[in-house]
Structure 1
Amino acid sequence: MRVKRSVLACAGVIAGTAALAEDFKLPPEVTPQLRAACETDVRRLCIGKDPTVAKVKRCVLVKYFQLGKKCQVELASLGFGQ
């Protein structure tokens, strides 16, 4: 359950970034710390043409060890991988 929530949180970070809408409401588990730690890495590794939440979730799972240490630590603090 924690892994799912963490992946959804990270996907939410990207969905918010991809949408580029000022009023886009991120899920409550997407903390400012998570966004600050992961946004750049996830954009670089997981945002391609026509990103979807499902694609981003899968990418974060597959490329977890390519994410920066700050992002990995923040995801771990949310229970990712436990």
Structure 2
Amino acid sequence: MGRRDIADIDSGSRFAEQFSTIDRYDLLLGSIPAAFVLAALIGRLLGVPFEGTVLGGVAIATLAMLDGLFFRPPSGLQGA
């Protein structure tokens, strides 16, 4: 059971509603900066030069971008 706030609305349901609106393309957009963060962490741990880590981040982000734009593009209005 979720806790109820002053307006007697179940706060757990609002939390679930927020995350139910996240779709595949939101995750793809979030994966682009995550690729750079992950590459920077791995580069820091392994002692890879900065240019190498950026290049790794670019490679991962490019794959995500190509997937969202060309391999599996949006097929129309969603959620309208």
Task: Please report the TM-score for the alignment, with normalisation by the length of structure 2.
Answer: 0.31
Rg (Cα) greater in structure: 2
Task: With a CA cutoff of 8 Å and minimum separation of 6, indicate the structure with the bigger relative contact order.
Answer: 1
Task: Please report the TM-score for the alignment, with normalisation by the length of structure 1.
Answer: 0.31
